[in-house]
């Protein structure tokens, strides 16, 4: 059964299992390039005459004008007809624990995604869609064969309502029996942090690309002075153009970055021209990495990247790196706030000490087990830094003396492990331990660990991962097993907004469930 979009409340009808269509302007917003190409191809003679100051109509053009008008009209009619048919045959439904999407009129495509497998859900607004008040709804599912399931385009309010419906179903919210067709309200959110544009710009200027261009410029000046050849300067032109494009892309994607917490999960918003609003449901982050370059250490800046099922590695399937960035640039308190959102239960009574040891410590700081002294010949700079520590809920791996890195993997997200030992490492009784998670920018690898320590960690981490997966009895986060009393509030103590978590930071939390 098909139906037109109601004036308000698309999710209300969708929750009843009714097939709905996207906004009628969707194919025109997506296919405006085709319309522009048709106009340019058939009207380029007129454009050229206007630029050259020639008369628009002369004897030569008068003979071709009927053919151009007829050809352009036919192409325009066929394109618009294709847009209309594409819109008419694109329908979606939310019912029975699935989102179903049918599309195509010549080549039909049917897709469905399980709601309890939703890993992340985004609202994307390209510049043209923002002008018309439309948005694309894109959500990732762990069992999807492609990158994402997309609905483009819906009205902004309808996209937000549909996102609330999908997240409510994915969380396991049970509709009110007295009002089964009522759409769930959008969950409230509480701001956590925002990145000032000045800091974002400063982080780009102090990036590794900037250092490379500066060193290249210095080398060009020296070579030009020594050889009396000015051609070396030309090599800087493509580097400068590439750096400018990289700066603009990073600034455009990271501008106005804000993070908030809600019962639906972590909400991220960013973008200058094209805006995007991400929602990462609780427990969907597979691995996390905190990095700090030498120049960023001057200002105490860090970057956080994550692995999320369905996102893949940055650049794959055309996905930008911004989708896997949890914090583009932030200071230590902001890093601790984001860690508290990803891992509400740190699994240790002293989270500040262990995370401080992971971010900037050496040797056994924070309780880390590091490379044995005999490994200093293979890692002369990093042997005191490379190490691991484990809590009740996650494994932490640190590495890098100059480019510092801290990787955090929740125990239940460890899919498999492997030990690597090369011929030199075998002589020094060292080994690398690799943890396998979903594809992404984070590659958990413990480097140059002692062989005995690596074997012990291999066995213990396997047991911890198996036990953690047994405790997670459902993909719906409202139906999962509650944390042990030792990790939760005291008996009889009600939850409250603005409670202080075990990371030592204060987060706003919702005290009641939706629905």
**pLDDT, tens only, 324-364:** 999 999 999 999 999 999 998 899 999 989 999 999 999 99
Residue 399 and residue 312 share a domain: yes
> Looking at per-residue confidence, does 63 or 444 come out higher?
444
Same domain, 287 and 427: yes
Whether residue 46 lies inside any domain: the answer is no
DSSP 8-state secondary structure symbol assigned to residue 241: H
Under 8 Å between Cβ of 392 and 420: no
Q: Is residue 303 part of a domain?
A: yes
pLDDT for the residue 500: 38
pLDDT at res. 282: 79
With beta carbons less than 8 A apart as the criterion, state whether 476 and 172 touch. yes
The pLDDT value recorded for residue 510 is 35
Tokens of 341: 């959102």
- Structure-block tokens of residue 68: 């151009």
Q: Residues 218, 364: one domain?
A: no
Q: What is the dihedral of CA 236, 239, 240, 246, to 10 degrees?
A: -170
In the block, residue with structure tokens 């032109």: 237
Res. 302: pLDDT tops 90: yes
**245 and 381 part of one domain:** no
- Greater confidence, 183 or 25? 25
H helix runs in 347-450, sequence order? 351-360, 423-427
Residue 15's pLDDT band, with cuts at 50, 70 and 90, is very low
pLDDT for 420 beyond 90:
yes
Whether residue 307 lies inside any domain: the answer is: yes
- Looking at residues 422-443, what average pLDDT do you find? 92
* 370 and 421 share one domain: yes
Split into its structural domains, the chain has a count of 2
What was the pLDDT predicted at 359?
93
Average pLDDT, the chain: 80
240 and 290 housed in the same domain: no
**Which pLDDT score, from 0 to 100, does residue 232 have?**
66
Helix axes 351-360 and 332-342, enclosed angle (nearest 10):
120
Within a domain: residue 509?
A: no
Question: Measured in Å, how far apart are the chain's first and last C-alpha atoms?
Answer: 28
Domain that holds residue 419: 282-479
Output DSSP code: residue 400: -
Distance (Å, whole) CA 45 – CA 74: 18
Q: What's the whole-number mean pLDDT along residues 215-232?
A: 75
Question: Do residues 239 and 300 both lie within one domain?
Answer: no
In a domain, 268, yes or no: no
Is 100 part of any domain?
no
Q: Which token pair is 481?
A: 């097993």
DSSP one-letter code for 486? T
The pTM (predicted TM-score) of the whole model is 0.79
Q: How far is CA 501 from CA 125, 191, 250, 495, 504, in A?
A: 34, 16, 32, 11, 6
In this predicted structure, what is the pLDDT of residue 176?
66
Query: Could you read off the pLDDT of 63-117 as tens digits, one per residue?
Result: 666 776 777 778 878 878 888 888 888 888 888 778 888 888 788 888 888 887 7
Phi, psi of 265, rounded to the nearest 5 degrees: 135, -155
Q: Report pLDDT for 173.
A: 73
């Amino acid at each position: 059964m098909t139906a037109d979009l109601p004036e308000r409340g698309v999710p209300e009808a969708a929750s009843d299992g009714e097939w709905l269509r996207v906004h009628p302007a969707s194919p025109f917003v997506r296919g405006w390039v085709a319309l522009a190409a048709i106009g340019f191809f058939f009207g380029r003679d007129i454009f050229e005459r206007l630029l050259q100051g020639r008369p628009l109509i002369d004897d030569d053009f008068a003979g071709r004008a009927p053919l151009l008008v007829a050809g352009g009209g036919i192409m325009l009619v066929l394109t618009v007809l294709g847009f209309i048919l594409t819109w008419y045959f694109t329908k979606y439904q939310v019912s029975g624990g699935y989102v179903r999407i049918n599309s195509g009129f010549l080549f039909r495509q049917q897709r469905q995604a399980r709601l309890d497998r939703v890993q992340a859900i985004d609202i994307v607004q390209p510049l043209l869609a923002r002008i018309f008040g439309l948005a694309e709804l894109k959500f990732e599912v762990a069992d999807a064969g492609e990158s994402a399931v997309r609905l483009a385009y819906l009205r902004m309010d309808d996209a937000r309502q549909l996102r609330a419906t999908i997240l409510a179903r994915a969380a396991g919210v049970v509709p009110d029996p007295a009002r089964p067709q009522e759409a769930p309200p959008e969950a409230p959110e509480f701001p956590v942090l925002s990145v000032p544009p000045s800091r974002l710009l400063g982080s780009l200027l102090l990036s590794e690309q900037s250092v490379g261009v500066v060193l290249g410029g210095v080398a060009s000046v020296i070579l030009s002075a020594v050889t009396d050849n000015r051609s070396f300067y030309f090599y800087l032109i493509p580097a400068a153009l590439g750096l400018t494009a990289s700066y603009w892309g990073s600034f455009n994607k990271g501008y106005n970055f804000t993070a908030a917490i809600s019962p639906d999960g972590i909400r991220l918003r960013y973008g200058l021209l094209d805006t995007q609003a991400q929602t990462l449901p609780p427990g969907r982050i597979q691995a996390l990495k905190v990095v700090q370059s030498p120049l960023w250490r001057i200002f105490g800046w860090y970057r956080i990247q994550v692995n999320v099922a369905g996102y893949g590695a940055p650049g794959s399937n055309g996905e930008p790196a911004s989708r896997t960035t949890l914090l583009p640039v932030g200071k230590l308190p902001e890093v601790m706030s984001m860690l508290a959102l990803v891992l509400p239960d740190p699994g240790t009574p002293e989270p500040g000490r262990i995370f401080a040891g992971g971010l900037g410590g050496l040797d056994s700081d924070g309780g880390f087990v590091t490379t044995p002294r005999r490994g200093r010949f293979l890692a002369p700079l990093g042997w005191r830094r490379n190490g691991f520590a484990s809590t009740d809920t996650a494994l932490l791996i640190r590495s890098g003396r100059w480019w510092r890195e801290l990787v955090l993997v929740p125990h239940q997200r460890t899919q498999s492990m492997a030990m690597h030992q090369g011929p030199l490492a075998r002589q020094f009784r060292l080994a690398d331990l690799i943890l396998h998670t979903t594809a992404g920018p984070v590659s958990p690898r413990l480097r140059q660990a002692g062989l005995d320590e690596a074997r012990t960690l291999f066995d213990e981490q396997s047991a911890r991962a198996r036990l953690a997966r047994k405790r997670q009895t459902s993909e719906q986060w409202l139906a999962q097993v509650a944390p042990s009393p030792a990790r939760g509030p005291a008996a009889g103590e009600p939850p409250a907004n603005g409670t202080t978590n075990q990371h030592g930071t204060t987060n706003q939390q919702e005290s009641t469930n939706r629905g």
